[in-house]
Amino acid sequence: AALMGERGTLGSAGDPPPDEHAARYCRRLGDLGRYMRLDSAAADAVMLLRDASSARASATSSLFGVLNHCRSKMGERMLEQWLRQPLLDRAAIAKRHDIVGLLAGRASERAALRDGTLKGLPDLDRLSVALRQQNAKLIDIYRLYTFTTGSVPALLDGLRAVLAAAEGDSARTLREQIVAPLEEAKASFSGFDEMVETVLDLSQLPDVYIRPEYDEDLAGARAAPDDARDVASATPETPP
């Protein structure tokens, strides 16, 4: 069924892939044996997730609600996925425990990450969908820019502070699983950051505009709101 759905989206194997799908999808083998299979009846029996149909259900009426201290929508989605698909792979479980153990023992660094950097993260899942569908707005581009230039360096600083006082397998796991991928992402977005700083006029924040020098029509369109504001400010107020 999954392959038939893929064929319906991308076309048959004999057809050349459409340009809009080029370099957007890839096939990967997954190991379902790494996860416990939970059907809806089992999930309901252990109150895994909140009953959306019940108006009286409280935030702590489910395991998800009790565990959910996430600071972003992405974190909530990942927590729900982990609860729906519990790991059976002991090595992968041990790696998660190593990272949790490191952060659990460092309250100040954990609080700085939780109440600072993580709290202000943009919804990257939503942004990635908008970018893939080519309907992202300028403000979406700017939010991604603030993540790559602000949030990622702040996350790395906080995690490196944890690593500075850690050693052994736990420190190596944190570096391999989180710090190294973030460093790679930061480096890969350097061209994107330069493009945003070159193309977008960041002096007009919170409004986001393309620099008018890129197009004469843009220059005229950009000047219109300024002219309207000048006229409005020069018009004397009519007494009541």
pLDDT tens, position by position, 21-38: 555 667 778 777 888 888
Specify the pLDDT at position 144: 95
Contacts of 200 (CB under 8 A, 6+ apart): 138, 141, 142, 145, 208, 209, 210, 211
pLDDT tens, position by position, 112-152: 888 888 888 999 999 999 999 999 999 999 999 999 999 99
Task: Tell me the whole-structure pTM to 2 decimals.
Answer: 0.74
DSSP 214: G
The answer to whether the CB of 152 falls within 8 A of the CB of 182 is: yes
CB count, 10 Å around CB of 94? Answer: 12
User: Nearest 5°: phi and psi at 105?
Assistant: -90, 5
The answer to whether the CB of 142 falls within 8 A of the CB of 196 is: yes
Pick the range with the lowest mean pLDDT from 60-64, 90-94, 214-218.
Answer: 214-218
Specify the pLDDT at position 147: 94
The answer to whether the CB of 158 falls within 8 A of the CB of 109 is: yes
> What whole-number percentage of the chain has pLDDT above 90?
40
pLDDT tens, position by position, 154-197: 999 999 999 988 888 889 999 999 999 999 999 999 999 999 99
